[in-house]
Structure 1
Amino acid sequence: MPERDAVTTLRALVVDDEQEVADAYALRLRGHCDVETAYSGETALSIIDESTVDIVLLDRHMPGMSGDDVLEALVERGYYGRVVMVTAVDPGFEVLDMPFDDYLCKPVERDDIQAVVDQQRKLLAYETLGEFFSAESKRAVLAAEMNAEQRDGHDGYAATADRAQRLERRARRLLTDDSILDQFAQIEREEF
């Protein structure tokens, strides 16, 4: 299967209170992924609440809501994506307890920002794929073993089927080669 165009698949958000810096990093990612910018933590959270964002590139030192505050809010909201701190704040031991996925010290070169986005895309794709396989295998085995009336009357089954569909769509969007999903679908889960 041919590789997909990354521009139509990955969604990144650059968050930095310095507009020139945010725009420069976004420019480095244009043509590499779909990218949006936010110049405050509050704006970043609004964007994430309203649309799917796969990777957040987050500055730590911002007036008002800091990057650390945004990171905490993302955890509280159950954000499902990857967070890369891109900051001039030198890391200290406090980073050991912070739930980010990577840390880059400014200034960051074009190749490095693209490389970290590619790496985080792959990690998110594999995480999503694993969650999809788990949900879909449960749905598939129940679909094979129970009739439609039994399945339709169970809330947990409907929720699992919905979750599997959402995870599959996201995995297909993030993976550059989604043939593994087709291979998974070919596995028989019913008793003969």
Structure 2
Amino acid sequence: MTDSESSADVRALVVDDEKEVADAYALRLRGFCSFETAYDGRDALAVVEDETIDVVLLDRRMPGLSGDEVLAELDDRDYRGRVIMVTAIDPELDVLELPFDDYLCKPVDQEDLRDAVDQQRRVLAYDLLGEYFSAQSKREVIEAELPPETRTNHEGYQSVSTRADTLRERVGRLLNDTSALDAFESIDRGKL
């Protein structure tokens, strides 16, 4: 990936208790993607709660709420993004039980950091694309088979419609290309 390439539509969160380290990694992402920084685990969880964060860059060793504890909490909350551990802790067998998506040992240079974020952006986009296809298929078959008055006030239909719209927006943002989404919608799912 060249410096001129950008994943500006991915939203990252850099979490490290050492302000200088967090700010240095954030600086390496500047011009590449949008990002937030958090200097402790509790603030990180608050950011994820309040905003759509696609990729979390998480330090393991932090006072208060450790990175491992933040990771467990994200897992408990069914966080719909990717987590990259960025840490000075050399991996041991305990990492086999941790629900992260990538592990980078500090120090991490700009190119590796950006490549890791971009790789996780792509993985997330395709994971969400599958969810979108499922939700959109349900919505389209209901729209093809049932009259508007039957589905308009139906809670399940409204829920799947909202989910499909939200997923379409997020996948389109992450992929920077909606051709896969448009091709899916060209399939006729109604009665012949």
TM-score normalised to the size of structure 1?
0.95
Percent identity between matched residues is 57
Aligned equivalent of 1:114: 114
Report deviation, 1:190. 1.2
Please give the per-residue CA displacement for 1:70-112, whole angstroms capped at 9, x wherever unaligned: 0011111121100000000111111111100000000101100
Q: Secondary structure at the match of 1:191?
A: coil
Please give the per-residue CA displacement for 1:12-53, whole angstroms capped at 9, x wherever unaligned: 000000111111111011100001111100111111111110
Aligned equivalent of 1:45: 45
Aligned equivalent of 2:25: 25
Aligned-CA RMSD value:
1.2
Aligned equivalent of 1:12: 12
Aligned equivalent of 1:76: 76
Aligned equivalent of 1:170: 170
Aligned equivalent of 1:150: 150
Structure 1 unmatched ranges of 5 or more: none
Partners of 1:168 and 1:49 in 2: CA distance: 21
Partners of 2:71 and 2:153 in 1: CA distance: 39
Q: How many residues align?
A: 188
Partners of 1:6 and 1:69 in 2: CA distance: 28
Aligned equivalent of 1:132: 132
TM-score normalised to the size of structure 2?
0.95
Partners of 1:67 and 1:6 in 2: CA distance: 25
Report deviation, 1:5. 5.9
Cα 1:106–1:182 shift into 2, 3 Å: same
Partners of 2:135 and 2:6 in 1: CA distance: 27
Aligned equivalent of 2:93: 93
Q: Secondary structure at the match of 1:65?
A: coil
Q: Secondary structure at the match of 2:79?
A: coil
Large movers: runs of 4+ above 3 Å: none
Report deviation, 1:152. 2.1
**Corresponding letter in the other structure for 2:129:** L
Please give the per-residue CA displacement for 1:160-181, whole angstroms capped at 9, x wherever unaligned: 1111111111011101322111
